[in-house]
Amino acid sequence: MGPRFLPSRFHDRGSPSLSAAPSSSSSIEGNNRSLLDSKGHLSADGQPGHEPSLILINDGTNDALHKSNPSDTQASIIQSLAALRKSAPDAHIILLIPFGQYYAKELKHAVATHQQTHPSDKKLTLIDLGPTVARSLAVKNGVLGGLHPNDRGHDLFAAKIIPQVLGVLNGGK
């Protein structure tokens, strides 16, 4: 069976709420269903054994654009990584630095902090496309449809990200 993917909308500013009991704070798009199964693990449908194999996080852009405190974003990611690892112990977790390099320093520090406090966690990877991508956004080379990438932008970014994700899933970094 291929990888299981879990919708990433469990997190709305601040640390995630992954309670085992169904509540609106732990539901996906208001479906009022817990993200956790009876074992306290993430589950796409609430059933045991349906954990995601990959969690991809792209966080920080909205925080930066809304002028949030960078240390709050960093603390939120540190808490999120710990909660995600506890609830998805076998999943690969990839933190993607925002294309515009928003809060890149804080996100890198959050990953380093998690790795220091959880040295046995070998399935956490940071992907940073670097300042070149940020510069390509700054000149608006036809890749944005407002704040988010347009179809061309998604194609360009996917071409850079997918090989790195596949490398992680196939045992490389």
pLDDT in tens, 67-78: 888 888 888 899
| pLDDT tens digits, 102-146 | 889 999 999 999 999 999 999 999 999 888 876 776 666 667 666
Sign of the Cα pseudo-torsion (60, 61, 63, 64, in order):
positive
The pLDDT score that the predictor gives to residue 134 is 67
Please, what are the domains in the chain? 24-169 (3.40.50.1110)
The pLDDT score that the predictor gives to residue 121 is 93
Distance CA 59, CA 77 (A): 8
pTM: 0.74
